[in-house]
Structure 1
Amino acid sequence: MPVRHSVIHKIDKKPDGSPAAVYLASTEQIESGARDDLMSQLNDSYNATAGKGWGFFHQESGAHPFSGWLGKYLAGDTDFLSFSTTSVEHLTKLMEESNLTTGGHALFCHYQQGMTDYLVIALVQETEAVTMTEELHLMTVKRLDLDHVRLAARINISEWQNNPQSKQYISYLKGKQGRRLNDYFRDFIGCQEGIDGPGETRTLLKAFSDFVESEDLPDESAREKTHALVSYSMAQAKLGEPITLEKLSGLIDEDRPKSFYDFIKAKDYGLSETLPPDKKTLNKFRRFTGRAEGMSISFEAHLLGDKIEFDEAGGTLTLRNLPTQLTDQLKRVVA
């Protein structure tokens, strides 16, 4: 993860309503192991945090100037320090107006991962930690709390520049701090909501379930394909990268690498070619399957307790909202 540029400013804003003060860095962070470790930890923490939104820039305007400043930096019209300084001053102004946060260290980092350039911006608080001195004495020190970042966004610069029609080149933490705080930070970036990550992931899993049912696969084969889907999707989530439908299709069935992809397109599920994986939704996805004496049962784990109830003592399943095709067949038999 080569770091191209990084700057850390500090915004001091107390909850008592006193004016915010910004302490601007005079230089970029110098190249060092500490700097690279910090940015790598921030990136890992960001990727591991569940609950992200995905979007794209508003049209540049007086209300949303950030994309214009970023564009000037990328074009070489201004340097990274100047870009981050202008941005953090704007952030401080919005912070004053909203009165929703207590400030923190504003981290700006332009880095490369693989062939892709990213810009990550995060507001990080300080916390205390205990360390040991060379004389074996305990000492309390302050450190940046990367484990509990509440406000952060990451811009896929390469995607923005190469595919400006995309609606998912910005991701941002949604968290549990409240919509007003999320909206204030999103307004600072100038980001509007685009792709619904959880919704897209649910649609993908629904398409996969329909595909497995249409193929009438043996239990073992269904489990293998489910494992391939979840493993790939979770790996992409860990990297902070989107799911690519064509690649996923090839992993699900190596002998017929286009079968799942063609199924999705034929049924018109409305999925994008790439979509952001939602870890919470993926964690709930698991298939229970069983076959015995002419009976085959297969269902997704999230249906348990909703449309399907399991009575452990009686060894029975109660099913609700049966498929129309199945109920029609049963009605004909009863009649």
Structure 2
Amino acid sequence: KQHVEVTDDLELSYSDHLDVPKMQLAVRIDLTQYTTQPELHRYVSFIKGRMGRKVSDFFMRFVGCEEKVDIKAQNKQLIAQVDDYLATEQLSTEEKQVSRGVVADYYKQKIASGEDINVSELAAKLPKNEEQQSDFSVFNAHLEQPLEPQFQPDRAALKPLAKFSGQGGGVTLSFDRNLLGDKVHYDPVTDTLVIKGIPPNLKDQLSKADKD
């Protein structure tokens, strides 16, 4: 992509640059990682965009490598394990939400800097069990399928940290986590969800439909 800038002599200078955010297919090879720690198989990473699985697979075959770490699965597993870990600690709902906010901030920082998620680094930011000398790293290590020590962050992982969402049977729902128990109440016995304070635009639609 071409861009223009003004030089010190007040002249226009034209130059080309890579528009990275709009890249759909790209590969990055970390030569330092390849030279120093090739056994980790972490020296190749991809931008696969929304080109579809077939195109992504073709691109990987073209480059001549195979996927060793499922990034989306690792990120999804991390968020699930954070929830499981917080559930084992004696924390209030507010404290759990604060911890999820810490994880979200950590994710945003790593995405912005282009760095990997580091499980040990993240563990240091989460509550610890001082009596048992245990933290999230220890919790992860004792799981049947522990997380990789490091992996690329996936922006999609941020959503479940802040919201509950789901769809099925023609119904799509999404609401902030902090509303559960306040404006949103779930009864597991009757499998019902009660929402207090319906959004005005939805309320207006329902009112009009009720008059039809």
Per the shorter chain, which TM-score range?
0.5 to 0.7
Indicate which of 20, 42, 46 corresponds to 1:168.
42
Partner of 1:283: 159
Kindly indicate whether residue 26 of structure 2 is the aligned counterpart of residue 152 of structure 1.
Answer: yes
Gaps of 5+ in 1: 1-125, 287-300, 323-335
| Residue 305 of structure 1, CA deviation | 5.1
**Bigger relative CO (Cα 8 Å, ≥ 6 apart):** 1
- Larger fraction in strand: 1
* TM superposition score normalised by structure 1: 0.44
Q: What amino acid maps onto 1:277 in structure 2?
A: P
Confirm or deny: 8 A CA contact 2:103 2:122 kept in the other structure.
Answer: yes
When residues 310 and 159 of structure 1 are mapped into structure 2, their CA distance, relative to the original with a 3 A threshold, is closer
Partner of 2:142, secondary structure, is helix
Partner of 2:199: none
Confirm or deny: 8 A CA contact 1:308 1:318 kept in the other structure.
Answer: no
When residues 162 and 204 of structure 1 are mapped into structure 2, their CA distance, relative to the original with a 3 A threshold, is same
Hey, what's the Cα distance between the residues in 2 that align with 1:191 and 1:304?
A: 35
Confirm or deny: 8 A CA contact 1:237 1:279 kept in the other structure.
Answer: yes
Tell me which structure has the larger Cα radius of gyration: 1
Partner of 1:172, secondary structure, is strand
Hey, what's the Cα distance between the residues in 1 that align with 2:98 and 2:104?
A: 10
Indicate which of 304, 317, 331 corresponds to 2:185.
317
Indicate which of 69, 83, 90 corresponds to 1:195.
69
Confirm or deny: 8 A CA contact 2:89 2:129 kept in the other structure.
Answer: no
Per-residue CA deviation, residues 227-283 of structure 1 (Å, 9 max, x unaligned), is 222222222222222222111111113785841111122233431122222111223
RMSD: 3.8
Per-residue CA deviation, residues 126-156 of structure 1 (Å, 9 max, x unaligned), is 46x67889xx9xx9x7844515223321122
Indicate which of 199, 215, 223 corresponds to 2:89.
215
Superposition pairs of residues 52-67 of structure 1, within 5 angstroms = none
Per-residue CA deviation, residues 280-316 of structure 1 (Å, 9 max, x unaligned), is 1223422xxxxxxxxxxxxxx234556996899xx55
Hey, what's the Cα distance between the residues in 1 that align with 2:146 and 2:189?
A: 24
| Residue 321 of structure 1, CA deviation | 9.6
Confirm or deny: 8 A CA contact 1:197 1:278 kept in the other structure.
Answer: yes
Hey, what's the Cα distance between the residues in 2 that align with 1:132 and 1:157?
A: 35
When residues 321 and 277 of structure 1 are mapped into structure 2, their CA distance, relative to the original with a 3 A threshold, is farther
Aligned length: 179
| Residue 208 of structure 1, CA deviation | 0.8
Identity among equivalent positions (%) equals 21
Gaps of 5+ in 2: 191-212
Hey, what's the Cα distance between the residues in 2 that align with 1:275 and 1:284?
A: 18
Q: What amino acid maps onto 1:317 in structure 2?
A: H
Kindly indicate whether residue 158 of structure 2 is the aligned counterpart of residue 302 of structure 1.
Answer: no
